[in-house]
Structure 1
Amino acid sequence: MAGFGAALAMPAVVRAQDSDNLFDMFSHNRVMREADREGNTATALSLIETVEPILSFDTAYNLQLAIQNYEQFVAVNGSWDLPQQDWFGLMLGHRRKPVKALKRRLMINGDMAVEERISDTFDERLDAAVRLFQARHGLIINGQIDEPTFYALNVPTDYRLNQLRLNAMRIEQWASALSDRYVVVNIPAATIEAVEASSVVQRHTAVVGKVDRPTPILNSKIHQVKFNPYWTVPKSIIRRDLIKYMNEDPEYLTKFRIRIFDGRGNELQPTDIDWSTEEAVKYTFRQDPGAENSMGHCKIDFYNKHDVYLHDTPQKALFGENARFHSSGCVRVEEVDALVAWLLRDNGGWDITGVQAAFESNERLDVPLTHQVPIHTTYITAWANRQGTVSFRDDVYQHDAAGTVTFAS
């Protein structure tokens, strides 16, 4: 009763603010309870993961439709509204004025159905729209206006339209040279597609090259799978990384089972090398097969002059990141066992069970492909599918900024 009396004694404006805060709290709790966030994520993924390959005439056609829609919007409206700072941190259950502006933006983008009366509550419909926006931009799907989502919203319309035009031309060029069965690595998306009979049969999350050590863009053929390989450290990594690691931790090579050999095949000890110089570059550094091996349980070889390849990795946590640009040019593959089984299916006796058994054995084995499979490492930052869903990725290597359409293989 004393508390009740004190509340009555407060100024009216304070009681009104408390009332609003109380309403906000109850509204937040109710919306949170009723929302099907997992279902919203599943719906978002179903709208982007259709069967047409990113490199295909279907995608080229879908891109032309998207370009027409964007051109019409720009001609009439100029640009959509860019986010204000008060959008940052918005999430399910919030009852705030900026929610209305966020809803309008996502209605324009097509992520949310148009509503005649727009409320200021971050409701389940808006949660579903934010998750679709995040899925279309390759972001971690959490329904929140976090930093990556805020920056993706902050890209102007004319920039997105330019991306659509550039990538339509790129896909037209690549699509004309495709076979019935092939693998595509899309570098900006850090994803891999295994394609057969004009349909995607597998999709894999990938980790690709850093900005200063990019994955090369090329066309080649996969010709071999190496199970439980040794890893010979490239000279560039010895110079850029290994010497630094040894200066920071003299036990680094021992921990990761990396051995040193001279030109005659004699094994050296880490203490035999002067790590204050670049002497180490003269020697061969080879990592034994096993759980710590940088290539994990397999290496997928394709012909190229850059000494890059697809491979497994012990660093599985990297696949859960928004920006997966961590390698020195090679491509790490999530759930690589499924891709290997698909590549080796014509070799006889290889299925997912056999591949996993080979991994677990830790035994060295090289398997040449009976039928070599084409591989295309590509640079696609915008594409559209048959459902009309348009996806975008960041211009990580600045090829969009340079207006590059044709890449030397």
Structure 2
Amino acid sequence: MKRPALLALALSALIAFLPNPASAQNESPLEALRSFKRQAEWTDRFDATLPEIHAVNSSQPTLSPEALGRMQIAIERYRTLAASGGWPLVPATQKAMQLGVRDKAVVVLRQRLAASGDLVQIGGREDIFDSYVAAGVRRFQLRHGLRGDGIVDQSTLDALNVPVQVRLRQLETNLGRIAERANDLSDRYVLVNIPAAEIEAVENGRVRSRHTGVVGKVDRQSPILVSKVHEINFNPYWTVPVSIVRRDLIPKMKANPEYLAQQKIKIYRWGDETREYDYREIDWNTDEATQYMFRQEPGELNSLGTVKINFHNVHQVYLHDTPQKSLFGEDARFHSSGCVRVQNVRELITWLLQPNGWDRGKVDATIRSGERVDVKLDRPTQIMFAYITAWVNADGVVHFRDDIYAKDGVETLALR
């Protein structure tokens, strides 16, 4: 086959892959090639957008005196944005908008992302969801605690369409929350941000480690508190709280009498662990079970996982590991009964026990032994459970989270 024929064949193949073949057939072969190049973005520098995505994360803590100044700047910016009309509503489409899609809604999406500073480079056709739009969507998702996959699904669309006035009110409300905590910080502390379902270990003004968490359900909320971590339990027992016995254990036993045995939970009387009771000695059709102590043995099934972090509080909550690791991969991580599950908890434990002379090797070996070990911290560490739905990191990136417990006093995006 001669060269002109090969070129014609190649151009025909390119035209076949264009998003709109009908219109492409009216183009000359040269125009079709140019159009394909634009859509394939052979001349785009996609890596130019990566620093903007990286800036979403920061080694600086959520709480600090400096954070107040950043919040004030963001508030003024959002006031100006609100006064100019805010951002447009992105219309829903029949299928999720993602890389390569051509739709009129992409034009509005570009405008929305540009208004909030997420679209840092504008190139190509306005109705094409190109790599710059995908990067802008990812940046937006990460700022809002969503999975950064660059696809506009329903959760992302809902967050995009929260009005600027609502976001402004969130910033103003959280300015007061941050101010309340920012000047009361120890040089070494743990922050649990409930709406973000995130834990920070902070030392001398820098985040030593940041952890994904799982916090309380809407009807079993994690409390706001300040305390000090004083003890670590390795390979702990789990004593089932009376509230969970009533809400969960009794219904599960009525549905499946083998549940306790399957979960390695033993029955005792409170204050007397010398005699183990049989489940048949309890009337599960009443609240009689709440008069007994239910204790789960250490091991793979234990609801606390391999370690528990204790601090004094009237709510009887604590931090702990979990056997349900898959929960950390969800956008909405509100599944617990008030306590907080911590991803990569061994890293946090190692940091807490550094003043005791422990390292990661000793932490791993203690967990691997399977033995019950309780360690008092030589240096009790401040811990705070806070409710922060909006903050600004050290790079000036504004973060928002869903008002899951409806504490912001505005019609914000709540947990679905």
Spell out the pairing of 1:230-379 with structure 2 (5 A cutoff): 230-263=237-270, 264-265=272-273, 266-348=275-357, 350-379=358-387
Q: Secondary structure at the match of 1:373?
A: strand
Is 1:111 aligned to residue 114 of structure 2?
Answer: no
Spell out the pairing of 1:7-18 with structure 2 (5 A cutoff): 18=21
Amino acid at match of 1:147: Q
Rounded to whole Å, the distance in 2 between the matches of 1:33 and 1:357 is 52
User: Which segments of 5 or more consecutive residues in structure 2 lack a partner in the other structure?
Assistant: 1-18, 26-31, 412-416
TM value normalised by structure 2: 0.87
Q: Secondary structure at the match of 1:133?
A: helix
Judge conservation of contact 1:310–1:332 (CA < 8 Å) in 2: yes
Rounded to whole Å, the distance in 1 between the matches of 2:109 and 2:379 is 51
How far did 1:28 drift? 11
How far did 1:257 drift? 0.3
Provide the aligned length of Structure 1 versus Structure 2: 383
How far did 1:100 drift? 1.0
Alignment CA distance shift 1:17-1:31 (3 Å):
closer
Rounded to whole Å, the distance in 1 between the matches of 2:146 and 2:280 is 45
Rounded to whole Å, the distance in 2 between the matches of 1:64 and 1:287 is 49
Alignment CA distance shift 1:295-1:27 (3 Å):
farther
Matched-pair identity in % = 48
1:4 counterpart residue number: none
2:100 counterpart residue number: 93
Judge conservation of contact 1:88–1:147 (CA < 8 Å) in 2: no
Amino acid at match of 1:101: V
Alignment CA distance shift 1:135-1:44 (3 Å):
farther
Rounded to whole Å, the distance in 1 between the matches of 2:326 and 2:52 is 23
Spell out the pairing of 1:4-403 with structure 2 (5 A cutoff): 18-20=21-23, 31=40, 43=51, 46-75=54-83, 77-86=84-93, 89-113=96-120, 115=122, 119-263=126-270, 264-265=272-273, 266-348=275-357, 350-401=358-409
Q: Deviations over 1:191-224 (max 9, x none)?
A: 0000011111100000001111111101100000
Q: Deviations over 1:266-303 (max 9, x none)?
A: 21112222212211111000000001100000000011
Rounded to whole Å, the distance in 1 between the matches of 2:237 and 2:45 is 47
Rounded to whole Å, the distance in 1 between the matches of 2:293 and 2:126 is 65
Alignment CA distance shift 1:252-1:32 (3 Å):
farther
Cα-Cα RMSD: 2.5
Amino acid at match of 1:385: N
Rounded to whole Å, the distance in 2 between the matches of 1:222 and 1:110 is 39
Judge conservation of contact 2:309–2:320 (CA < 8 Å) in 1: yes
TM value normalised by structure 1: 0.88
Rounded to whole Å, the distance in 1 between the matches of 2:294 and 2:44 is 54
